[in-house]
Amino acid sequence: MGKKDTCAWEFYSDPARYADIVNGLVCGGEQVVDKSDLRELDSRIGQKTRDLLREVAFGNNTAVIGIENQE
């Protein structure tokens, strides 16, 4: 318990895969986000740590999207 799933972390840390996940889940399958639209953020928020945290550019707007791996 408390051990990080390194395989999933490595898989989802790839910018192209991260963009695909955002496009599939947030954009309804449309190719809106490209890997160049992502900016890595510090995964520490207060006293909590997120698995993967990225700032995603949607034109003039941005969103902070985090992926949490679950067993």
Say what the pLDDT of residue 24 is. Answer: 95
Angle between helices 15-25 and 6-13 (to 10 degrees): 80
Neighbours of 19 (CB within 10 A): 21
Chain-centre distance for alpha carbon 19: 8
Question: What backbone torsions phi and psi does residue 58 show, to the nearest 5 degrees?
Answer: -120, 80
pTM as predicted: 0.79
Residues 19-63: tens digit of each pLDDT: 999 999 999 999 999 999 999 988 777 777 777 889 999 889 999
